[in-house]
Chain A
Amino acid sequence: MPNPPTPTRVKPSTLAKTLGRAVIVALLVLLALTFIFPFVWQILISLSALTDVDLLTQTGFPPALQPENFITIFQRVDLARYFFNSFFIAGWVTILQVITCSMAAYAFSRIQWPGRDKVFLLYLATLMVPAVVLMVPNFVVVLKLGMFDDYSGLILPSAFSAYGTFLLRQFMLTVPSSLDEAAAIDGASHWRIFTTIMLPLARPGIIVMAIFAFLFNYNSFFWPLIITKTANLRVLPVGLLQFESSYGQETPLIMAGSLLAMLPPIIIFLVLQKYLVKGIQLGAVKG
């Protein structure tokens, strides 16, 4: 005989579950608000008049909106040019890094050569050197090579990336070695295996690497600042610096400019976020 259902015993546990869920959701919402707050603040400042910025902390909202700020920045500085420079430089760096990193990753993961893993460790060790330490030697090299104040000086030093190589090597290690062995027996050279087998299979990894490379270089500030002096070569973060002078800073304009500068990364993230999440999992899950 079947047992009669006992619904009363299920209830308390579902109640506890719902309560627990509510607490978790509340905490998460709170956390999300904390993250969003600076951006909201930024938007509010970008819409304020310079004289109202100090008032914001008391009122929480600008007494009068001033959306003209977004037009003013284009009139005061050559923002379009800075946008172009940022995209141009970050784009080239990304393309070059995809090429160099994927080739290096193939060599570090698929080709046997003496001392390979030691060289790789050495290569990885360069990640531990703070970028600031390398700033001066890099500057001297770039200067000597005649690349100072030139696109080449902005692009070429970033054309290689130990981090990108590491990321792609880890990704390529998850591709079964029998695939390249099968291809080798089928008659493929290393170059052929790299281009027709490995690159298509490593595509998710390459996309992640490219996104990281683009975002990192799009945001870079210090290197472009010291390696250029011509106004035409300024990138966005450097260009926005013009709103800051010894007489004080024009906060609303800086905020408006950086808000516009933030848009491309946000769009890139929204469009490609499924790859980014995959990239963060890289190495954690094999397969």
Chain B
Amino acid sequence: MAQVTLKNVAKVYDKKIRAVEDVNIQITDGEFLVFVGPSGCGKSTTLRMIAGLEEISEGTISIGDHVVNDVHPKDRDIAMVFQNYALYPHMTVYKNMAFGLMLRKLPREKIDKLVRDAAKLLDIAHLLDRKPKALSGGQRQRVALGRAIVREPAVFLFDEPLSNLDAKLRATTRTELKKLHARLKTTTIYVTHDQIEAMTLGDRIVVMSDGRVQQIDTPLNVYKRPANRFVGAFVGATPMNFLEGILESADGRFFFVAGETARIALPAEFSSALADHIGNTLSLGFRPSAMREASPADPQDERITLRTILVEPLGKNADVSCEFPDGTHVLARIDAREDFPVNADVQFTLEMKHVHIFEPGEFGANLVHPPADILAPAAV
């Protein structure tokens, strides 16, 4: 068990390509931390630096109390599960799991006990004599997991371990991973590009893009209070809708004006946060689930009118693809009903407490629902 600390960590390739920039994270003992981001965002590189498979160009990484920058992977007390499992094809499952223990010169009986215990825990005891070729994808995944836990390391590192499994197996394995972590309570660092995996598994999530950390927070906070437009767009089962427009004020109220297409009244709670941005170009972001069909009781200036293109029923809900007159695409998640009009102009209401306003640009900061630690720096 150990805590892991990354201080100003950066990775520079060929003296010019900065793949990872200024990463600062404190991972507490026993925590399940998930790095998530699109491919090429630097999450795997960061993990490989923690593992010792990539050199750390700048900054320091500590595991426990020791700075491990110059420590060989085998001496970092870590175990890693690779995306392709990296099982030794010419060894049996037993040997695969025992290999690391044999290299550490543990007594034979001890190795045998550790391997068999781990195999039992993962329900692969009946596969010990097989070679990886004779295993299914899910079984190989378990063996890779077994090879990691048998060593009883201080830190587990996972590099997209579920991405080679089919959807159903991925979901069940995800649950098992979570159970396993609850049982072993080993500090775990997990890398994925799948934001659902990140949401479901992580105690905390690190959202990365362009080699930089965009936000570190609990899954719910990342979802509800995305630090910037990128996080809002990346996290969540359906992507956030965005409208570009200008902030205007009239009669003491704020309006978000997106050209001719919409003029949306903003609630009074936003006023203090937006006071300095009047006349500026901003983006309005809202999740499909923050939309509902307008009812007569809704105030007119919180409604938007959209042309419906396509309805995809999901069961309880339905996803409606819509367009503003200028062609801007919007996805709405509404309560499903049979007779929902398609190719018609429909009025929707935005639930203002779930609406975000971002500064311009891909990484524009969230002005109205910033992450808690930015709102109240004194509390840290």
Q: Do A and B bind each other?
A: yes
A residues 182-208 in Cβ contact with B at 8 Å: 182-188, 192, 197, 200-201
| Interface residue? B89 (CB, 8 A) | yes
Stretch of B79-87, B243-251, B275-283, B296-304 at the chain-chain interface = B79-87
CA distance A221 to B231 in the complex (A): 71
Stretch of A23-31, A122-130, A173-181, A261-269 at the chain-chain interface = A173-181
Q: How large is the interface on B (under 10, 10 to 19, 20 to 34, 35 or more residues)?
A: 20 to 34
Q: Mark B262-291, 1 if CB is under 8 A from A, else 0.
A: 000000000000000000000000000000
With both beta carbons as reference points, the residue of chain B lying nearest to A184 in the complex is identified as B73
* B89: A residues at CB distance < 8 A: 201
Task: Given A186-B100, A188-B103, A192-B103, answer yes or no on A179-B88 (Cβ-Cβ < 8 Å).
Answer: yes
CA distance A182 to B89 in the complex (A): 12
Task: Given A178-B82, A179-B88, A182-B86, answer yes or no on A187-B53 (Cβ-Cβ < 8 Å).
Answer: no
* B52: A residues at CB distance < 8 A: 184-185
* B73: A residues at CB distance < 8 A: 181, 184-185
- B147 nearest CB across to chain A (Å): 8
- A100 nearest CB across to chain B (Å): 23
Contact across chains for A186 and B90 when beta carbons are under 8 A apart: no
Q: Mark A36-63, 1 if CB is under 8 A from B, else 0.
A: 0000000000000000000000000000
Interface of B is mostly: loop
Task: Given A178-B82, A181-B53, A181-B82, answer yes or no on A187-B104 (Cβ-Cβ < 8 Å).
Answer: yes
- B90 nearest CB across to chain A (Å): 4
Task: Given A185-B80, A188-B74, answer yes or no on A179-B86 (Cβ-Cβ < 8 Å).
Answer: yes
CA distance A179 to B91 in the complex (A): 12
Interface of A is mostly: helix
CA distance A223 to B360 in the complex (A): 76
* B79: A residues at CB distance < 8 A: 185
| Interface residue? B99 (CB, 8 A) | yes
* B80: A residues at CB distance < 8 A: 181-182, 185
Q: Mark B76-118, 1 if CB is under 8 A from A, else 0.
A: 0011101110101110000000011001100000000000000
Q: Mark A152-178, 1 if CB is under 8 A from B, else 0.
A: 000000000000000000000000101
CA distance A182 to B83 in the complex (A): 11
Q: How large is the interface on A (under 10, 10 to 19, 20 to 34, 35 or more residues)?
A: 10 to 19
Contact across chains for B82 and A186 when beta carbons are under 8 A apart: no
With both beta carbons as reference points, the residue of chain B lying nearest to A179 in the complex is identified as B86
* B90: A residues at CB distance < 8 A: 200-201
- A51 nearest CB across to chain B (Å): 60
CA distance A233 to B340 in the complex (A): 96
Q: Mark A116-156, 1 if CB is under 8 A from B, else 0.
A: 00000000000000000000000000000000000000000
Contact across chains for A186 and B99 when beta carbons are under 8 A apart: yes
CA distance A118 to B53 in the complex (A): 23
CA distance A201 to B104 in the complex (A): 23
With both beta carbons as reference points, the residue of chain A lying nearest to B159 in the complex is identified as A178
| Interface residue? B51 (CB, 8 A) | yes
Best-surrounded residue of A176, A183, A184, A187 (most CB of chain B within 10 A): A187
* B53: A residues at CB distance < 8 A: 181, 184-185
Contact across chains for A178 and B84 when beta carbons are under 8 A apart: yes
Contact across chains for B103 and A185 when beta carbons are under 8 A apart: no
Q: Mark B59-78, 1 if CB is under 8 A from A, else 0.
A: 00000000000001110001
CA distance A197 to B73 in the complex (A): 17
Partner of B99, one of A176, A183, A200: A183
Task: Given A178-B82, A188-B74, answer yes or no on A183-B88 (Cβ-Cβ < 8 Å).
Answer: yes
With both beta carbons as reference points, the residue of chain A lying nearest to B151 in the complex is identified as A186
Contact across chains for B86 and A197 when beta carbons are under 8 A apart: no
- B111 nearest CB across to chain A (Å): 13
CA distance A192 to B73 in the complex (A): 15
Contact across chains for B82 and A182 when beta carbons are under 8 A apart: yes
CA distance A181 to B74 in the complex (A): 10
With both beta carbons as reference points, the residue of chain B lying nearest to A181 in the complex is identified as B53
* A185: B residues at CB distance < 8 A: 51-53, 73-74, 78-80, 100
- A102 nearest CB across to chain B (Å): 16
With both beta carbons as reference points, the residue of chain B lying nearest to A176 in the complex is identified as B84
* B82: A residues at CB distance < 8 A: 178, 181-182
- B332 nearest CB across to chain A (Å): 43
- B5 nearest CB across to chain A (Å): 20
Best-surrounded residue of A179, A183, A186, A187 (most CB of chain B within 10 A): A186
* A200: B residues at CB distance < 8 A: 90
- B76 nearest CB across to chain A (Å): 8
* B78: A residues at CB distance < 8 A: 185
Q: 10 closest pairs, A vs B, by CB?
A: A186-B100, A178-B86, A187-B103, A187-B74, A182-B86, A178-B82, A200-B90, A185-B73, A184-B73, A181-B53
6 contacts between A and B (CB under 8 A): A178-B83, A182-B147, A183-B99, A184-B52, A186-B100, A187-B74
New A-B contacts (17) at CB < 8 Å, excluding given A181-B80, A181-B82, A182-B88 = A178-B86, A179-B86, A181-B86, A182-B86, A183-B99, A184-B52, A184-B74, A185-B52, A185-B74, A185-B78, A185-B79, A186-B100, A186-B147, A187-B74, A187-B104, A197-B88, A200-B90
